[in-house]
Structure formats: structure tokens, C-alpha cells
A and B are shown apart, each in its own frame.
Chain A
Amino acid sequence: MEKEGDSVEDFFNNEKNLLVRFKENLNKDLDHENLSIEYKLLGTNYNELLKQSVKLMKIGDSNQRRLIKTQNDLLETHSKLELSYNNLKSLSQLGQTLTSSLDTKEIILTINKHIQDIMESDIVTIGMFEEDKGLIKYKFLVKNHKYIPSMAFENLNEDNFSARCIKSNTEIIIKDLELEYPDFVSLIHNLWDEITQSLIYIPLQVEKRIIGIFSVQSYNKDAYNINQLSVLRTMASYIAIAIDNANAYKLLSKKNRQLNEHLEKIRILNNQIEIEMNKSEKLLLNILPKSIAERLKKGENIISDYFPEASVLFADIAGFTKMSSKMSSQEKLVDILNEIFTNFDRVAGNYGLEKIKTIGDCYMLAGGIPVPSDDHLERTIDASLEMIEIFKILQKELNIEVALRIGINAGPIVAGVIGKNKFVYDLWGDTVNIASRMESNGFIGRINCSEYVYEKLNSKYVFEYRGEFEVKGKGIMRMYFLNRKI
């Protein structure tokens, strides 16, 4: 530049000197010969000046061109920097979007959209590494900008790009498939597309775990430059985190779903168990008094309770055995018995009495057990009167030629459950035996009571003294028919 500067200064000095000399010559009175010499000299100098001028103009042009080039270079650098900045900014935003997504389909669609803005791509896909199966499954695929459900996979035990990428844990860049890997052409074309030319496989890694492959492909050869590769690498880091999160979420959701399914099954089972338990409970309460059933459930094996006073009633359907021998249908016979005993059950329930059992055509109930009470005998007596009345109605309704005979006694008894199978709540003791004798020594359509009963309730009920009777195993006993309430 200093040399060029000197040349410019020389040029203007020479031009100035030439003009001064020309002016001086104009003022001189020169003859023709000297004038001719001066003009030639002037011409020569002027030519020199013109040459210098052209040279300087060339230098000027050259500098200008260099200046413009430098300016263009600067603009280009600025554009590149701006693009890099935008890419970085955009990648950072992409990273935020990806890492906050838990849906792999959404992830690949986001990736594809971003890639389309900065480079050409005909296939964008994410493959999942299934280590146990030795496969990379490319279930997520965008082909020609459209999401396609895919089943494509590559076996890692065979020689293919996925296997190479995973095994070496390095990216694979193919600029010209047919030229670089002619043996793989049919494999790739069948797997992806018939016209795939450029392929990039980048392993997806989280910490030190390889979780899959990110692949971008183009139908053109040499489709990706260094900058684009750099962007794809950065993208792969984000994708790896996003996919790992999505996989974890999917697994968690699956476990959660399974857990809910199990819980639902358990809930249904519990309901069934509860229904069955209720059935069992109902059945148990049909067999045993509630308090006794509770005690058995709590673990008591043998229940034997002494009651200083309880009442016992036996009701026998006299003539039933005779009727059954005449009746052709046994089923009808059972129906009749069921009808009678069901009515007796209702009466027992109404008076708070405990049905003990039926023995053939004989019905047995007790009062004052398992919960002792002061009025058990009155309730038993009232129940017996109602049973007689009900039986009369049933005789007509059912058109049966049978009669009811009732015997009642009261006194100390032992009540409980013994045995392990087919257990029943039963009564033992002399009081029970005498009640049974009262029934067997009674009369059809009447209520036969022991002296004990008479002594207890003769102030409230009307009794009819029958006399003394020989009772088997007991000797002579006084007996009374119960007629009605006073």
C-alpha cells in the first residue's frame, strides 16, 4: 500500500511539474525548433502520465474488487454466524420441546418438522434397541413427510447398518449407497425405500446405555454436509433423552395399567368372596344362633353353656307317618311338611324363640337361650297357642288329615355345639327329656305342660289338670293342658 501511495504522489507531482513547465513555455518566446522540442517532451511526459494514470486506475480497481470481496466475505461469515446462532437457538428450543415430550410419535414428528427446515430428508426414523431380542425396531417412521406405522427391524446378529452402528457405538454416514455398499443395496431398498441413496445412522445413548438409533435418509446422493451432520448429532443427544423418558413413562404406564387391572381383579374377587361369605354367614345363621356363630368364628371349638332356666317345646304332627304311607308323591309330602314348619319358623321368630331342630315330623324350639330372659316361658306358651291356631288353618288349606300335639317344659338345661362337622346348636338335660315326654304323653290339638310350667304361669293362663301319668324313666308326673290366656 505504501508503494501504491508513493506512485500516486509521484503521479500528481509529475502532472504538476508538467503543467508548470507548460505555463512557463507559454510565457517564453520560443522559436519553432525549441517549441517543437518542448511539445515533443510535453507529449512524451504526457504519455508517461497517461500510462501511470492507467496503472493507478488498475490498482484502484483491484483494491476496490478486493474491498468488495472482503465485504462479501464478511457478510457471508456474518450470515453463517447468524445461521449457526439460529440453529443453536432452534436446537435448544427443540431440546426443550423433545425432553418435555413423553410420546415417541410426537417426538419423531417434532424432529421431522425441524429437520425439514434445515436439510433435505425423505426418511426420518427412530429405532428402539431391544437387547433381549437382539433387534433394532424402527417403529417410528416419517417417510415423505408422512408418519407411517412401521414394523421394520434389523437383526443385530446379522451384518447390517444397525448392527454396525450399535456394535461400534459410532455413527454411520453413507453418501452413495450403491457406490459404497453395493452388497447392502437390496437390503436397504427393501427395508426403507427403493430409491434411498444417502443414509445416516447415529446411535442414541443415555449415559453409557445405548437405547436406539436415529436415522435420516435421502433419495439424493451426498445429501448431508458437515454442518448438517453436526446438527443431527446434537439432535440425537436430545432424542436419546426424550426417548429414554418416553420409554420409562410407557413402562410406568404399562405397570400402572397392569396394577389397576390386578386391583380390579382383586376387587371383583373380593366382591365374590364377600357374596360367598354373606351366603355362608346367612347359612350359618340359619343353623346357629348369631351369638353362637360369632363365638365359633372367633375360634371356640366346643360350646357348652349352662342355663339355670329355659323353656323347651316339642310339636309333633300326629298321623303324619300314616299319611305319608298313603301318599303317592313323596315330594308333595315334603312340601306339606315344609309349609307347616315354615309357618312355625315365623312364629318362633316373632316370639324371639330359638328353633333348635326338626326330627322327622317333630319340631323343637326353646326359649331363654342362648340369651337368658325372664319371660321366655310366657313367650313359648304364647307361641304354642299360635301354632295350634295356625295349624288349624293349614289343615283346611292343605286338606290334610293330621293333627298337632305340643308338649312344653322348662328348667335348667345345657345348650351348645359339639363336634366338628355338620354341627347343630342342641340342648341337653332332663328338662329337654321331660318336654319330649310331655309331647308324647299329650293329645292331638292340645298343649300338654309339665307341673313346673303350670306352677310358673297358672296366674296368667288357664290350665286344665289332667292327672298323674307314669313317665318312662321319670316315674309319676302331673300334667296340665294349656287352654288359653287369662
Chain B
Amino acid sequence: MAEITHYANKSILILDDMPEARSSLRSQVGMLGFERIAVSGNVKDALEQVRKSHFDIILSDYYLGEGADGQQFLEYLRTRGVIGRGVLFVMVTAEKRYESVVTAAECLPDDYLLKPFTSEVLKLRLGRLLEKKRRLANVDQLQDKGDWAGVVATCDRIIEAGDRYMVDAMRIKGNALLAAGRLDEAVVFYQLMLLERPLPWARLGLARALHQRGEHEESKKTLGELIAEAPQLMAAYDLLGKAHVASGDHDAALAVLDSACKISPNSLARHRAVANVAEEKGDFRRVEQAMDRVVKKTRNSPLRETRDIARLGNALTEVGEPARAVSLIGEALTNFKSDAEDPMLAAVETVAQHKAGNPDKAQAALARALRGDPGKLPAPAAMAVAKACLTAGRQDEAQGILRQLVQTHHEATDLHSRVTTMLREHGAGAIADTLVADSVGEIIRLNNDAVKVAKEGNLAQAATMLTEAAQRLPGNMQVVANAATALLFEVLHNGVDAAKLRQAQAFQKAVQAQAPRHPKLAEIAELLVMVRDKYTAAGQ
């Protein structure tokens, strides 16, 4: 049979907690001609296998017994970048009811297979899915590069061809328009789609575009219709929650997310979303409830995240139960040695120990929290470390961390107001107002100065200024992207400099890794092509 050669070079991982189901699936894929078959009975083992070797296809049951389910496994793999766009993930279920109970499109499996299915169906399905991956490989690459104009153009060609991938191309095109910030085009595109057929994803896309344009009322209206029509689509609740938060109505946001939790009680993402809103509102009882569920659900699972423990510990401290926070963190540190390396957890412990009346232990925890470079931490961890410093009376360190945090996220006004609130709550009201304004002002000035210097013709100086800033604030994507652009401009005008070219490409890589949808990536890619064209011709 032809299909034997077809699958012989493909590797497949089967994940099912039931031994009988596992051997069943194994024998089915064996009949299709797969030779590289790995089998796993639990998420922990599967995760190890996926990390160790590459699989083309993952065939996972939805039910995996105690602990994580197939959807949580997939969300973990995709959000952590353990598997790329190119890996096929097929969810096997005995019932259909789990479809669309998913937050983000990238966390959707490539397909669902409803048990029982015959080997014939499995063969047809896998064949088609692999064919689709091949056909859309080009689009995937452009997406990975963040070349949204390229994605839109390629999708337009597929849509024009009107073949079976037309609708996939439409979906991707809509996302690309949103990612590129071409919001007006996105609105028109989705509205036209909806005239043809009120597909849930098109309605969601329209709501996203309206949300990004700041039209929250319109967006809410669209989402209301969508939820009435497709109550299983979790992403709609998430966006509606965000819309409510954006218009300052945290209670409405919590109500929306609660109803989503009822429909999808197993989704960790949903409980974490509730905690996010409750944290912002300062309702730490709610944070505690939500995070307690997440921590319990993942206690002995490989999907356990140290950050969840930290958030729960923080909430317990905030509601006046630091002793419980201390024992929670103590348990984590005993059972998971690597948790001792986590600065956020150490920061939360600092505050908890302090409030529980153990200043020595608080000191020890703070020392662990400050062991690394706080400037490299993600925002929530940096905030926690700053808070620990403030609690321990180490004002200067706290201010240093917060200044860098604000400069790294100089456009995140919600973060800025959290920084201000935190400083006020810790008796640093005097600098609370100036710290944010000064830090942001510095970045804006830097960008303006660089532009001015460049316009005056001093491209080298502009590039140097931005490169220095980017090295100081590696998390500020705008600064890093501008540095890459400035370096490339300089090279383009002043001649090839291998070190500068390498630096520009390193900045480009950093943006691709941290913000794959950054609007400047397309310009950087174009500049690189121009640089290459100019200097390859000259024999470089």
C-alpha cells in the first residue's frame, strides 16, 4: 500500500491513560504504516518524550484520568512553545462536548477524532491534516516571522483559488489584519464574512477588531450576540471580561468569567483569568478562591506552575492569613526543590514571613528574591520583588526595580497605575507620582532624541543611543525594535559592519521571540532584505 511509505518517516506520540485504549490506538497507527510510534500513559511521561524528541503528530485522549486533561496538556505545549505550529495535535474523545471550550485559537487541536473510529477514517484524517500543513506551511512561516503583509497576500491568493483551504486562509487573514493593527480593514473583512455566514470565529474577530479600536460598547454588543449563539466559545467570555475591565467595570468582568468557569470548570486558564481581574480590583478573597482551585488541580501534575503558588500565597497574605501563605510556600519548597530558585515565590514569602512576624525568615527570603537581576523578570514577578523590598524597608532597591519595570513597559498605563498604587500603599506617596512620569518621560525623550539625531544625518549616533537603551531595557520591545531598525539604516547608508549587522539580527530575534506580532518586525525584515540586496551585489 502506498500509504505505508507515506507514514514510515513520520513520528507519532500516543497519549492515553487507559492501557487498552492505548494499545488499540497503537495497533491502528501501526496498520497505517507508522514505524516511529511512541506511547505514553500520563502527561508527565508524554511531556518528557515531547521535550526529548520531535514528533510530527501527537494523538492524545481528552480524558487522562487524575490530573491534567488533554486540553490542558495541549495548552501547556503550545503556550510554552514546547511544540511549534508544524506539529499536528489531534484530540481523541468519546463525546463531542469538549469542542470549542478553548481560550485561544493557537490552543485548539488541529482536529478532533470521535471514538470509535476505524483505521480507514484515521488514515483519511491524518492524510488530510498533513496535506493541509503542507499547503499552509508557507503561511505558517510568514506568521512565525511576523510578516503580516505577506500572510495577508498569501491568504488572498488561497482565498482567490477558492479551494478547500479557503476558509482556513480567511481565518488566518483576519488574524493577520488584527496582528498588523490594520483594524479598519479587519472590521470590514469580518463584516463581509458575517454577511455571508454568521460564523462564531468571524464574530469573535469583529469583536477583537472593535475592542482594539477602543470601541468597547460595540465590542460588548457583538460578544453578547456571540455568546448567545455559541455559549461554548470561551474566548468570547475572555474578551468580554477584558472589555468590561477596559471600561472600569471589574464586577461585570468577574460575573462574565464566572459564567465561563461554570461552562468550563476544568480550564486553568479561566480560573487564572478570574484571578487577574480580581487582583486588579484588589479583591484578594476572589484571587484566593480562584488560585486555590488552580493549585489544587495541578498539585501533583506536571502542569503545576510555581507562579500559581506565588499568586495564592500573595492573596492569602493580603486577606490577612500570612501563616497559611507561609505553610503553603513551605510545602512547595519542601516538595519542589527548584521552587527555591523562583524570585517571585521568594518575594511573596518575604512579605508573608514579615506579616507573620518572622523578620529573620523574611530577610532570608528577600535575599533569595534578589539573587538574580530583577530587571530581567516578567512584570508580575518584578512587581512582587519590588513589593518585598518595600515591605522590608529597602526603598532604593524597590524604586530601581520599578523604574526599570515602567521603562520596559512604558506604554502600559494599567501597569503604571499599579506601580503608583503600590508605592502609595507602602508609604512612598511622595515619589509615587513622579516615578512613573519621570521614567516614561526618559524613554520618550530617548526615542525623540534618536529620531532627531538620525534626521540630522547622524545615523551612527542614533543607532548607538538606541542600542545602549535596548541593552539596558531588553524587555522594551519598542526600544529593541527601534534599535534594530536604526542599526540597519546605518548599515544601509554607511556600509557593512558585521558587528552591527549581527547586533541588529540579535535584536530582531529577541523581538520575534518575545513579541512575534510586533508591528515593526515587517519593517526590520524588509530592511534586512535591502541590506542583503545592496551588499551581496557588491560581493559581500
Does B associate with A? no
Give B contacts to A, CB under 8 Å: none
- A residues near B (Cβ < 8 Å) are none
